[in-house]
Amino acid sequence: MTDKLVEQVKSTPEGLRLFEQEGLILEVTEQICAAMEHDGVTRAELAARLGKSKAYVTQLLGGGTNMTLRTIADVFTALGRSLRVSAVPLNTVGEEQPAGQPQAPRSPLRISSFSVERQTGSGSTQHSPSLNLSA
């Protein structure tokens, strides 16, 4: 998708919220995969360390599962690592920060799909926005 579409999605509060959610999911998942690759840890081995099934780890790494902070901490602990989080102003993500300010280490993201479903009729309305990003 184009940068123009990214800007269009991010131009609304709802779109920006979804973009940031998906970006964070992608970033955490990439960190997990990088740690696994660096240490030669397979999904089956990570599952064993967590006391979970390989299917569970596959779901986590697929990005569709809403990982809690506890789950993220458990995964990184199982990998012998600790994840640190920093907050930066939205308009500076990916830009160089002044000395002493945390750097936002986000990869450039592309929108792979964006949809908003609305069903009306019989007095019911469903609004479920969905945004998928890829690096």
- Output the pTM of the full model: 0.66
Q: pLDDT per residue over 82-133, tens digit each?
A: 988 888 888 765 555 455 544 444 544 444 544 444 444 555 544 444 545 4
Q: pLDDT per residue over 36-54, tens digit each?
A: 999 999 999 999 999 999 9
Residue ranges per structural domain of the chain: 3-86
Q: Could you give the residue ranges of the DSSP H alpha helices within the chain?
A: 3-10, 13-39, 43-50, 54-62, 69-78
Of the options 1.10.260.40, 3.40.50.720, 2.60.40.60, 3.30.1330.60, the CATH number for the domain spanning 3-86: 1.10.260.40
Q: pLDDT per residue over 5-42, tens digit each?
A: 888 888 888 888 988 888 888 899 999 999 999 999 99
d(C-alpha 103, C-alpha 63), whole Å: 24
- What is the bridge-based pairing of β-strands 124-134 and 110-121? antiparallel
What phi and psi values does residue 63 have, to the nearest 5 degrees?
85, -5
